Structure 1
């Protein structure tokens, strides 16, 4: 990319751009609700994330345009001698910049944040239906060392 990428904590005004990026792929289009106005569940989640000192919702910007997003959650563990971990989730880039290094810069930024926060490990998950994402993360040094499991609960959101 020719434009300098900057990173900052997301603001409420960024929610529409964030949800648009989350919804702009095959999997996201099935689970997100990008509509006007946005469902209140997104604002509630944003408020919960931004009020928690162990969560960061980070946007990548080119000028004033939001072109990427990721959430970083910091978790203390009893294992690994009481070490902290950073979990990266919800990584998306705008379709206009995919393949131009924005995702790489997002992940590198998250790793640096984890180091600053004293984490001993950075972890993430990617859907098995995203083989390109798995290859992307492996190129950045991540290794598929564990099998992740999820149990979807049928909770309604507004």
Structure 2
């Protein structure tokens, strides 16, 4: 496999990112990959880009974006004022699934969290994604907490 490079996403990457998010069983129900993209995506991109504790990261194989993830760094009072990294929105292009890109993305995020001084990396996965749960457990993540969400 050609070398995979990681970089912070730019506005020109937004269409490709939304395309990957929507090209998924669950994502197809909640994302709107259309031309032009809904303005909400651009607004969110600018908010993420302006926040030094948020990073939207793309994995590139040559010039093609083949993966994406968002990493949020959060200070906590618990753990003696420690920082955590939360990984969200992880997707790989269907053409490269099963080739290790997802593992590379997560390992890159873990290293980034270590470099930023985080004591913990956390993520969630939908209960309708049992393969994703096995994938994350295979990378050393443990289901130590029960997560709850309230849709607004």
Q: Same fold (TM over 0.5)?
A: yes
For 2:18, the equivalent position in structure 1 comes to: 19
CA offset at residue 59 of structure 1? 0.1
For 1:55, the equivalent position in structure 2 comes to: 54
> For 2:72, what is the secondary structure of its paired residue?
strand
1:20-54 superposed Cα distances (whole Å, 9 cap, x missing partner): 00001110000000000000000000000000000
Does the alignment pair 1:152 with 2:151?
Answer: yes
Within 1, Cα distance between the matches of 2:83 and 2:49? 19
Within 2, Cα distance between the matches of 1:87 and 1:26? 23
> For 1:56, what is the secondary structure of its paired residue?
strand
Does the alignment pair 1:29 with 2:7?
Answer: no
> For 1:119, what is the secondary structure of its paired residue?
coil
Alpha-carbon RMSD across the aligned residues, in angstroms, is 0.3
Per the normalisation by structure 2, the TM-score is: 0.99
> For 1:126, what is the secondary structure of its paired residue?
coil
For 2:74, the equivalent position in structure 1 comes to: 75
CA offset at residue 5 of structure 1? 0.1
CA offset at residue 57 of structure 1? 0.2
1:61-113 superposed Cα distances (whole Å, 9 cap, x missing partner): 00010000000000000001100000000000000000000000000000000
Within 2, Cα distance between the matches of 1:38 and 1:3? 30
Structure-to-structure mapping, 1:134-153, within 5 angstroms: 134-153=133-152
For 2:117, the equivalent position in structure 1 comes to: 118
Within 1, Cα distance between the matches of 2:129 and 2:75? 29
For 2:64, the equivalent position in structure 1 comes to: 65
Within 2, Cα distance between the matches of 1:46 and 1:128? 27
Per the normalisation by structure 1, the TM-score is: 0.96
Within 2, Cα distance between the matches of 1:40 and 1:146? 35
Q: Any unmatched runs of 5+ in structure 1?
A: 154-158
